[in-house]
Every structure is written in structure tokens, then in C-alpha cells.
Chains A and B, each alone.
Chain A
Amino acid sequence: MGLLNRRAQRGGVTLEVDFSSCRAAGLCHELLPEVIGLDVWGYPVVDGAPVPPDRVREARAAARACPRLALRVVEA
């Protein structure tokens, strides 16, 4: 386990969406359905709560996968 993930597990990480960039591609929801929901128009719904420690890896993958770079993992 990398240093970043260990640090993330201690402090917890949250997700932040840049809605002015997001174009509802929906990849983040595909990769992390437990944490990222979609509204009726297909835009992500995140509640600002810390990502469960066992989902942090997927959260980072989802942020990397976003074609608009609109999802960001915020270290606590």
C-alpha cells in the first residue's frame, strides 16, 4: 500500500466535483457506484462525507478516469 493511501486512510479523503467542467459522462459513477450517485440528468451526486477507506483506491481511479478532469480527491 502506497504512502498516499495510508495517509488517506488516516485522515480520510473526500470527493469534490467541478460542476462547471462536468459534462455528465458518468464514468465516476461506473467506477464508484457506492459513493457517487447520479441525478436524473446524469450528473454526479456526492455528499461530501469521507470516502470509505476501502474505496479510496477506486476514488482515485475515478478521478483519473474523468474525461473532463472534473472530479478531484481532496486530502483531509
Chain B
Amino acid sequence: MSRGRRRSERADRAPRSRRRLPGVSGPQHPSPVPCGEDVVVAPGPLLLAGVQEGPGLAVHRRRHGLLVPHEEGFPDAEALAVLAEQVRLRGRGGAGFPFATKLRRVAERGGRRRPPVVVVNAAEGEPASHKDAALLRTVPHLVLDGAAAAAHAVGAHEVHVVVPAERHRVVTALAAALAERRETGDPADVTADASPLRWQVHVAAPRFVAGQESAVLELIAGREGLPVHRREPAAVRGVRGRPTLLSNAETFAHVGLLALHGAEPALAHGTAEEPGTTLVTTVLVTQDGCADPVVREVPFGTSVASLLPVPGATPEVASAPVPVLVGGFHGAWLTAAEAAEATVSSTDLARFGAHLGAGVLLVPGTGVCPLGLTDRILGHLAEQSAGRCGPCVHGLGSLATAFGEVTSGREVPSGPVAELAAVVVGRGACAHPDGTSRLVVSALQALADEIDAHSTGSCPPAESRPFSSPRPGSPGNPGAGEEHRWAS
């Protein structure tokens, strides 16, 4: 064997960690919810208060004041953890992990000689979600204050912010906000000690799994931003092996509010079990794409029905109560009746086997079949697999095909699709297979009537008439009329 040949053989092989498994190739399944960057942002009570005044630092400081030591001292890790516990702050990226627990773990593991690292995850890989984009474009300094406060609490000197490549306006907005802080020498960055924070921006590739925790850590480490198996959570070993406080951008915005104003403002909203507010993106899926997403800040306990599009607001709205997909592409379907009853609350949604996830409500508009939509989402999710874990690569494609067999009436819901949905769970380096399985299982349950109809060859949504009379039981659209169109 000649030397040259051996070398070329070696060159054919990608580095071990990057080798991809064969899977579905080529973008044959684009996002079924092809929203652009135009988002409607409604002013809200806490995070989104006064968004119409613009994202500048001066406006932010006028409203929220300086991030300076409180009378009882600037929140150290324990004080901040206590505040987070008072408002029961949970991560807003989808997993819902208690923030206080994470904060304490990072603070314990860190120390002067091994300062922890803070990571703000605004990668928002879910195409239907726009809340983190809305935050960074309307109130970036609240997110940055939250990150700065958390960094000072755990003794971190560096903050990494991860933004999505495909959302140019978010990348620009963050750059502008950081530049403004640098230029004005904002004192918020140097509160407790003399060393200023180092801010680093990373741009994540446009793919569904780019926002997964391990993918974000890979990106920061200088590798391709794809999920990998991690033995320990980021709070124990994250960026360069340091304890890392990695949370979603919305979570940091809530931390910012806690650090600036204490727990009282959040406690004035929501329910006793779940105080405060949360961001919800509502997307109306139309036959040829989707209407502009609406981002709202709502108190926990708000009725889901009150957030759904109101008949008459747009020409393509649904003509009758429709099933709603709660939690985005990794979420769960609610029947029309469940959606009328459910509230924005993790405990309440758990009754229906759903969870808030990243706070996305997907509503099929007139003529959009929820089963067909699920089909397209599954095709997209299978294609968005990072291609690293066998059960995901093989399983999600098979799962999408098997679901298609059910929606076309060739197979029963208890057939291969149920088996496949069970076999992929917990068998990947990230939450992608689990989330996809959850979507399938919920669709088989909540869309049982639609599946029955399909098995007899009919599809009611596709045959339905356009909207003609007001939808009963819809309490109206909160904030309608004063919504701020954020298209600049």
C-alpha cells in the first residue's frame, strides 16, 4: 500500500467526534412555520413594560435604576437564590429547572481560583419561538443586567451570550446594547468588585438543536455547536471545565428584575403557586405560512384561550375552536375543549400532559389540518437531528414515516408509531428525541377525532368554510390595539 493512498484514506474520514451518521440528507423539510423576523411585541407588566420607548440604556436606567448595591448589600449568591426561591423562578428555556438550585450549585463549585462562567442562551433554535428575540430587541439591558447580577453573585468575570445566526436583528440589537454599555462605562458592570465583566458574543448556527445546553457549550468551546453526551451538568463542568451558570435569556431577564427591584413586583402577579409572569409566543399557522408571531408577557394563570387569535383580527383565522399545540415543536397538543379550559401554568398544563416549554402556542388557522401540521413538523424535526446519536438519526425518521401512515389512514395509532415513540425516549445526547416523541404521543391522543376522520378519507379543517361568526367563549385579545409592531 502506497503512502499516498493511506493518507487519502485518512483524509476521507472526518475527525472522530464530528463524524455524522447517514441520515435524511438535504433540506427537504423546511420549517413548517416559516416566520420571518417581524414580531408583534405587546407591552407587558414587568419585563416588557414600556417597550415602545426603545431599547436604549438611558431608557432602561430611567425605568429600572442602577444595578447597584442594595442597602443590605448587593445580592450575593445566597441572597439572589433566596429571591429566586421567593418568586419560584424556573428556567424559561423549556426544561423548567429551579434557578435557585442551579445558582447555589454553581456558587458552591466555584471559588476565587476557579471563577465560574455565566452563559446567556438566546439561541432560540425553535423557529416558532420569538420571546428571546423579542427581549433582546426590546429590553436587552434587562437581560444583560440579569447576567451581570448573576455573574457578580457567583464571582464570574466572563459572560457569554449566544444568539441565533438566522435572526440578524437579534445579533445587531445585542451588539448595539453591548457597545452602548462599553461607551457609557455603565456602572452596572463593575458593581461589587473592581474587575469589569468580559462580554463575549457567540453566533449559533441556524438549526433546531443549536440551543440545547451541550450544543451551546460546544459552540463556546470553539467546536461545531451540536449536542454531545455530557456526564455532568454545566453547573458542575461547563465552559473550560468551570462551573457554568447557563440559562435562557428570559430567565436572566427575570433575574435582572429581582436584582433591580427585589421580589415584590413579581409577587404582585400570577398565582400563589407560580408567582410572576412569563413570555408567550402565539403563532397562527396559515395555509401558506404563518401570520406574524405575537409575543406577550402574561401572568401565570392567564387563560390560554385569551391568548389565541381573535376571529376577525386577520382574514385567515380559525372558524371554530381548534386544537392548540402548546410548547412548540417539542410540545403537546391540547384538544379544542382542553385549550378553552387550560391556563398558562405548568401545574395546570400537566393535567393535560402538556408543558409550557419555551412558551409557544401554535394555532392552526382556517384550512390548516393539525395532523398535516404535525406531519410537517415531524419531517422537519427528523431532518434537524444533529446526526450524532443513532436512535435519533434512525428513530425520528421512522417515527415521522410511521406517523404519516396513521394520518393517511393506513395504520392504527396503536401500531408501529406508538412503539417507535417509546423507543427513542431518553436515548440521545440532548432532549431532541424525547421532545419529538412527546409531540407524537400527544397528537395520537388529542387529535384522535382528526385521526378517525382521516381514516375514513375526510379532513374537516381542509373542508371548512372561512370564518363567518364570532367564536364563542373567546374573552378577547388582551392588549389589542396598543400592541407595538416591532419590525424595525
Inter-chain CA distance A24–B429, complex, in Å, is 15
Interface pair B391/A39, CB less than 8 Å apart: yes
Interface pair B394/A19, CB less than 8 Å apart: no
Interface pair B390/A21, CB less than 8 Å apart: no
Contacts of A45 in B (CB 8 A): 423, 427
Question: Chain B residue with minimal CB distance to A19?
Answer: B389
Question: Chain A residue with minimal CB distance to B226?
Answer: A20
Mark out the residues of chain A between 27 and 65 whose CB falls within 8 Å of any chain B CB in the assembled complex. Answer: 39-43, 45, 48
Contacts of B427 in A (CB 8 A): 17, 19, 43, 45
Interface pair A20/B227, CB less than 8 Å apart: yes
Interface pair A24/B390, CB less than 8 Å apart: yes
Please encode chain A, from 10 to 22, with 1 for each CB lying within 8 Å of some chain B CB and 0 for all others: 0000001111111
Inter-chain CA distance A21–B21, complex, in Å, is 10
Mark out the residues of chain B between 171 and 230 whose CB falls within 8 Å of any chain A CB in the assembled complex. Answer: 227-229
Inter-chain CA distance A12–B449, complex, in Å, is 47
Question: Chain B residue with minimal CB distance to A16?
Answer: B231
Contacts of A7 in B (CB 8 A): none
By size class, the interface of chain A is 10 to 19
Inter-chain CA distance A20–B429, complex, in Å, is 6
Contacts of B388 in A (CB 8 A): 19-20
Inter-chain CA distance A18–B429, complex, in Å, is 7
In the complex, whether B139 has a CB less than 8 A from a CB of chain A is: no
Q: In whole Å, how far is B418's beta carbon from the nearest beta carbon of chain A? A: 15
Inter-chain CA distance A50–B269, complex, in Å, is 45
Inter-chain CA distance A41–B392, complex, in Å, is 11
Interface pair A20/B391, CB less than 8 Å apart: no
Mark out the residues of chain B between 419 and 443 whose CB falls within 8 Å of any chain A CB in the assembled complex. Answer: 423, 426-429
Interface pair B389/A22, CB less than 8 Å apart: yes
In the complex, whether A23 has a CB less than 8 A from a CB of chain B is: yes
Contacts of B394 in A (CB 8 A): 41, 43
Inter-chain CA distance A43–B427, complex, in Å, is 9
Contacts of A43 in B (CB 8 A): 390-391, 394, 427
Inter-chain CA distance A22–B16, complex, in Å, is 11
Interface pair B429/A22, CB less than 8 Å apart: no
Please encode chain B, from 232 to 251, with 1 for each CB lying within 8 Å of some chain A CB and 0 for all others: 00000000000000000000
Inter-chain CA distance A26–B429, complex, in Å, is 19
Interface pair B229/A21, CB less than 8 Å apart: yes
Please encode chain B, from 354 to 389, with 1 for each CB lying within 8 Å of some chain A CB and 0 for all others: 000000000000000000000000000000000011
Interface pair A19/B423, CB less than 8 Å apart: no
Mark out the residues of chain B between 99 and 140 whose CB falls within 8 Å of any chain A CB in the assembled complex. Answer: none
Contacts of B228 in A (CB 8 A): 20
Q: In whole Å, how far is B437's beta carbon from the nearest beta carbon of chain A? A: 14
Mark out the residues of chain B between 3 and 44 whose CB falls within 8 Å of any chain A CB in the assembled complex. Answer: 21
Q: In whole Å, how far is B100's beta carbon from the nearest beta carbon of chain A? A: 27
Interface pair A39/B389, CB less than 8 Å apart: no
**17 pairs of residues in contact across A and B, judged by CB atoms under 8 Å:** A18-B429, A19-B229, A19-B389, A19-B429, A20-B229, A20-B388, A20-B428, A20-B429, A22-B390, A39-B423, A40-B423, A41-B394, A41-B395, A43-B391, A45-B423, A45-B427, A48-B426
**4 closest A-B pairs by CB:** A19-B389, A18-B229, A20-B429, A20-B388
* Chain A interface (Cβ < 8 Å from any Cβ of B): 16-24, 39-43, 45, 48, 72
Q: A19-B429, A41-B395 are known contacts; what are 19 more A-B pairs with Cβ within 8 Å? A: A16-B231, A19-B388, A19-B389, A19-B391, A19-B427, A20-B228, A20-B229, A20-B388, A22-B389, A24-B390, A39-B395, A41-B391, A41-B394, A42-B390, A43-B390, A43-B394, A43-B427, A45-B427, A72-B231
